[in-house]
Chain A
Amino acid sequence: MKRDIILAGVGGQGILSIAATIGMAALGSGLHLKQAEVHGMSQRGGDVSSNLRISDQEIASDLIPYGQADLIISVEPMESLRYLPLLSESGWLITNTKPFINISNYPSMEELMVEIESLNHHIALNADDIAKNLGSTRSANMVILGAATPFLEIPAEKIQAAIRQIFSKKGEETIKLNLDAFNAGYKFAVEHMN
């Protein structure tokens, strides 16, 4: 088993929280893991990505080869497309459709959706809206994580356990909010993956 995952977003959107949750679940399943992060200048509102590699074999490279990623998980629609050269032909793109607009020449949503929908394997959902309906937009990243989970080859229960562990200090209410967000994303993906 191997899953090579590109996590994408804009500096400050917290893609590393998704990486940390998957990472914890992977370790809990006895898998090998490597995760290359971005620190420094690009964190200031620029595009950021992380290479997350999970495998039952030892992993060699910290970087995923171009054309061989199994998944792109993006918390921002335009950013999801930036990493297409890394995605394999059979790979899936899971993205939030809520744009993060901090530049003046941001493209139109219609144009972006045409590109996203031209991919055979994609899940596109407005995680911010879903999270907001459940109580807080702050759990939008957990909606995205839920939507990616059917493609992770890690059982959903392991991811849920990791969410419980990560938010354990924040109280039951926060745990429930994040699990609800996760489950809503998961359900959406299962309904839309075929």
Chain B
Amino acid sequence: MQKLMLLGDEAIAQGAIDAGISGVYAYPGTPSTEIMEYVMHSKEAGIRNIRSGWSANEKTAMESALGMSYAGKRSIVCMKHVGLNVAADAFVNSSITGANGGLIVLAADDPSMHSSQNEQDSRFYGKFAMIPILEPCNQQEAYDMMFYGFDLSERMGIPVLMRITTRLAHSRSGVERSASRAQNGLHLPKDGRQFILLPANARRQYKDLLRKQEEFEAASSTSGFNIYSDGSDKSMGIITTGIAYNYLMENFHDRNIPFPLLKIGQYPLPRPMIEKLYAECSEILVLEEGAPIVEEMLRGYLNHGKKIKGRLDGTVPRDGELNPNLVAVALGKKDTRGREIPKVVVGRPPSLCKGCPHIYSYNALNQALDVWSKGRVFSDIGCYTLGALDPFDAIDTCVDMGASITMAKGASDAGLLPAVAVIGDSTFTHSGITGLIDCVNDKAAVTIMILDNGTTAMTGGQNSAAFGKIEDICKGVGVEEEHIIVLNPSPKNHEENLEIMKRELDYNGVSVIIPRRECIQTAMRSLKEAKKIKDKEKAAAV
């Protein structure tokens, strides 16, 4: 079969389709977004009637995937690393319920924070929930692990976490497909109480999870994703996890590593292999993309054993993603570097697009707040976070999805008046509604701006769950109708918008301002599509 050139994300999507999933659930988040997009655009997925489409947030996505697993079918749920925080309640408890149909939770981590607010390592979550983790080193392995992961999930009756990082998610390489597998039929769990986590059941289930740990470990030793290769130079043994393996290989052009090497792609760690490496080598170098999890386990709290080198002793930097050069230095090899960047080169940070509606929302808001001291605008996660940069300098916080509304409330409760929240439409339905209910119930003095561009813009224009519903949601949770105001953020409405904002900032209660205009990117795209259709019609008419 000819190889497909696929992003890591796309390889996972194709692998999941071929491994017989019946559904995929996700909320967009870099670097995980392309998995869902691939399934949504896949003709094969359409023919197989595989359920796809964006969920309101990662928690609802995770729960839907768990429901599909309960019903006996295979499902995958995809999110970025911080999305797993949102899904954590469902995720951690799914390790207690176990899985019926195969269930894979895909978390895409972002070391070096290319598009994120932290670089948390999702393997901690897998360890915390005590479930197996898969960590592919390349696109082919990512594809193959879908088949293995779903089989493992069904054989062990447990959800499986797959952890990838940005460089795998967004890198393209050749992938060879395997024969595809049919979807499962509907079949309920054999144990009717398995999914009822009443304490009595949960205690039994938890004991079952503890008992399974040995089986998980045994699977790690035999799956073929953890590979021990011997080397003649026992002065050092090397452990790599995930894509760190590639950076190690890059430093040996003949691909012959003189040291004993343990390549990790599956957790829990394969104890016999770890013990063999430790026994045979004088010291151990741990190369892992992300947090020093394996390294910490090997060192232990007291660190009285053999020398363990890695991120904790400075052999490798404590933060940020790895690269071939960092690994070269860790191996004691010569670093290479071209000319330094000339001083004349200046930074070019991302910025709001020309014609973006947020520009006009911020221009008016900045002016409306001019009479007050700085430091009272609580923002959120999305394109509008770029309002923090020049020339706007318009926001003071950005923490997590939905935190704008609730942080504004807390600050207002503390006496910081006026307090303003700035949140996007998609972020509002993701995690903003519950905060709004808190505001209404407490009659908090907050001015909430829901910047409605009709899409999830930052991740590339996915459908927004809020579309066409925002006023009704606000009314429904009890915001007074006269304080739900829709504006058109454009230069010609500047004065009018400014007056409305000033008025609502003065109001001692919950007010919601909705600046509404389509994202310039999606608007341009629709124009292009419309032109294409018109051109086609023209051509057909000739």
Contact = CB atoms under 8 A, between A and B. Distances in A.
B480 to A, nearest CB: 36
Given A44-B383, A66-B335, A84-B340, A33 B351 contact: no
Interface residues of B, number: 48
Chain B contact surface mostly:
loop
B344 interface: yes
Contacts of A51: 171
B300 interface: no
A33 B173 CA distance: 6
B246 A44 contact: no
Interface of B: 5, 7, 30-31, 33-34, 114-115, 167-168, 170-174, 243, 246-247, 249-250, 255, 323-325, 328, 335-342, 344-353, 383, 386, 458-460
Interface string A63-92: 111111100000000110110111111010
B171 A68 contact: no
Contacts of B337: 66-67, 85
A15 to B, nearest CB: 14
A35 B6 CA distance: 10
A102 B348 contact: yes
Given A60-B246, A61-B249, A102-B351, A32 B346 contact: no
Interface of A: 10-11, 23, 27, 32-47, 51, 59-69, 78-79, 81-82, 84-89, 91, 102-103, 105-107, 111-112, 115
B336 A65 contact: yes
Given A32-B174, A65-B324, A45 B341 contact: no
A33 B171 contact: no
Q: 10 closest Cβ contacts across the A-B interface?
A: A67-B336, A40-B30, A40-B115, A46-B350, A60-B249, A44-B350, A61-B250, A62-B171, A65-B324, A36-B171
B349 A82 contact: no
A35 B346 contact: no
A139 to B, nearest CB: 18
B298 to A, nearest CB: 25
Contact of B338 (A59, A88, A105): A88
Q: Name the residue among A61, A85, A88, A103 with the largest chain B CB count within 10 angstroms.
A: A61
B342 A115 contact: yes
B351 A45 contact: yes
Contact of B170 (A38, A67, A105): A38
Given A78-B346, A85-B338, 16 more contacts: A23-B5, A35-B172, A39-B460, A40-B30, A40-B115, A40-B458, A44-B383, A45-B348, A61-B246, A62-B167, A67-B336, A67-B338, A69-B338, A84-B338, A84-B340, A107-B344
Contacts of B335: 66-67
19 contacts: A34-B172, A37-B172, A39-B30, A42-B350, A45-B351, A47-B348, A60-B247, A62-B173, A63-B247, A65-B250, A65-B324, A78-B348, A81-B342, A82-B345, A85-B341, A87-B338, A88-B338, A115-B342, A115-B344
A61 B346 contact: no
B524 to A, nearest CB: 11
Q: Name the residue among A41, A85, A106 with the largest chain B CB count within 10 angstroms.
A: A41
